[in-house]
Structure 1
Amino acid sequence: MLSPGTSADESKSTVARAGLDAIALKPAECDVSAAASIPAETVAIDYEGREYLPDPETLETLASDGDAEVLVTTPVRADGFDPLGDDSLSRALPDAVGRVLVAGHPAYLTDEECERAVAPRLGAALEDEPGAWVGTENVERIAMATGATQYDLLTRTTERELRALRAAGFAGDVAVYAPTVLADDEDAILDAVGAYVARRRPVAEKLPDDAPTNASASGRARDVLLEAATDYALVGSEAGVREQAEALREAGATTIVGYPARGLEAFAE
């Protein structure tokens, strides 16, 4: 029963009020065990190199103590996660933990690992983990061919692409990942996601040379970054972010995954 003067929306968690289904964590930035206090349906743990991979005991505890489904991103070309080679790290993951299968960012791979074929490894990994999500970055067609849940990064064309997929008859699940800033303040937005959006090629091409990408940005650089923040991230008040999330669902997304770009504290209520 709600307390007097409390609306239904106010009784929901921050994650729910913002229209998010899941949160993504970067283990190099936070203690992933803290996610047990975040009321989300799913917790997706990014891969930032094997030195930051949470140990099996931490993952087991997170999966058993919280109510959320826990997914760990595993690069199928990397030693330890290669289903056609060394898969020791994959086999060490607790049974209660699901997976997001990705090709693997070159920044986290050796030259030899980068040369490994993606398609057969995704296929083999899905035989072992048929419920896994598949990250689509740089391997969109291969990911689509698997039929698994597609895990897409939010871009300025995401809504259009989702509508096209649904119109073409694609009936599978699509999870959309976006850095999320629950704030209207321009400086807060730029400090949180300015550097991230600046790395997107269409944005980098518009930015003046050597322009700062944080709150100190001014003039044209500031305008470009703030506009890009609405294309590549979910930013604004809880109500504003919820509106953006609902637009993505209307276009065809089934799960909205927010990365707390200002830290977990903003999502812990």
Structure 2
Amino acid sequence: MLTTSTVSRAGLDAIALKPAECDVERATAIPADTIAIDYEGREHVPDRDTIEALAADARVLLTTPVRADGFDPIGDNSLATELPPAVDRILVAGHPAYLTDDERSRAVAPRLGAALESAPESWVGTESVERIAMATGATQYDLLSRSTERELRALRAAGFDGDIAVYAPTVLSDDEDVILDAVGDYVSRRRPVASALPESGDEQTDSRATGRAREVLLAAANDYALVGTETDVREQTDALREAGGTTVVGYPARDIEPFLE
């Protein structure tokens, strides 16, 4: 990793991209050793040329929902077999918003097992399938929450010695309005945050938030995202590694531009 880059100064080991939100091809300019590409539906999976261009200079991991047609290792696996050999995978159950009713009904555990047989270097997403993911022994891909550091320490104390990657929306700014515009809506959907917000039902979750709602959202941004100056974020990423995380993956919640420097 380049020691003079923003990515390095912030203590990030990898950058995650949402292809529905940004031009993934621009990621070739991000000075990171690892690029993870989120899944936001089949129509947003980058084409082979784009993936190969990224893989020329970085390790590329493509998120693939094992219940989705095209990535189902015990069903339609056509999209997975077309991936470039240099690309690794992040195996996930799949967000229901990107799955059909039939796909949502499919069992996760046997599909994760089958996918790991053909792609043993894959990471496994833990969201909603924590015990199943842990049972695979593969690198755990965990979503940052207010309890992440405590859980990491508990896992290490219990003897778990596998790799644990932590994923978090990242905002390289200490401007409260910028932070709320970038992650306010995201953190508002986390269950503990939603229960703490005022019950009027018409509260804003971005920079327009005021009063109690604004306080709750800003506190939640520090629990569920990496926010602040490069130094602030570095303190957070160092704390995650000290607790037992092996890789910190930042998703540029505003724009990838700051991460190109």
The reply to whether TM is greater than 0.5 is yes
Which of 12, 17, 26 in structure 1 is aligned with 2:18?
A: 26
1:236 to 212, 217, 228: 228
Q: Which amino acid aligns with 1:27?
A: P
1:210-229 superposed matches below 5 A: 210-229=202-221
2:158 is aligned to 168
Displacement, 1:11? 6.0
Task: Give TM-score, length-normalised by structure 1.
Answer: 0.95
Give matches, 1:136-155, under 5 Å: 136-155=126-145
Separation (CA, whole Å) in 2 of partners of 1:11 and 1:248:
20
Give me the whole-angstrom Cα distance separating, in 2, the residues matched to 1:62 and 1:264: 15
2:105 corresponding residue in structure 1? 115
> In the alignment, is residue 39 of structure 1 matched against residue 31 of structure 2?
yes
Matches within 5 A, 1:40-59: 40-59=32-51
Runs of at least 5 residues in structure 1 that lack an aligned partner in the other structure: 1-9
Residue 188 of structure 1 aligns with an amino acid whose one-letter code is: V
Amino acid at match of 2:233: V
CA distance in 2, matches of 1:187, 1:55: 35
Offset at 1:41? 1.6
| Pairing partner for 1:192 from 174, 179, 182 | 182
Displacement, 1:56?
1.3
RMSD of Structure 2 on Structure 1 (CA): 0.9
SS at match of 1:205: helix
Task: Give the distance between the partners of 1:107 and 1:37, measured in 2 at CA.
Answer: 31
Deviation at 1:61, TM superposition (A): 1.6
Dislocated runs of 4+, deviation >4 Å? none
Per-residue deviation at 1:198?
A: 0.4
Letter in 2 for 1:100: I
2:241 — aligned with what?
249
- Equivalent AA in structure 1 for residue 32 of structure 2: A
1:94 matched to which residue of 2?
84
Partner Cα separation in structure 2 for residue 186 and residue 98 of structure 1 = 36
Distance 1:62 1:258 in 2: 17
Determine the C-alpha separation between the residues in 1 that align with 2:3 and 2:242: 25
Q: Deviation of residue 46 (structure 1)? A: 0.1
Deviations 1:143-189 (A, max 9, x none): 00000000000000000000000000000000000000010100000
Amino acid at match of 2:7: V
**Could you give the per-residue CA deviations for residues 75-107 of structure 1, whole angstroms, max 9, x where no partner exists?**
000000000000000001100111000000110
Tell me by how many angstroms 1:57 deviates: 1.6
Q: Tell me which amino acid in the other structure corresponds to 1:115.
A: S
Shift, 1:60, TM fit: 1.2
Across the two proteins, how many residue pairs are aligned to each other?
A: 258
How big is the shift at 1:117? 0.4
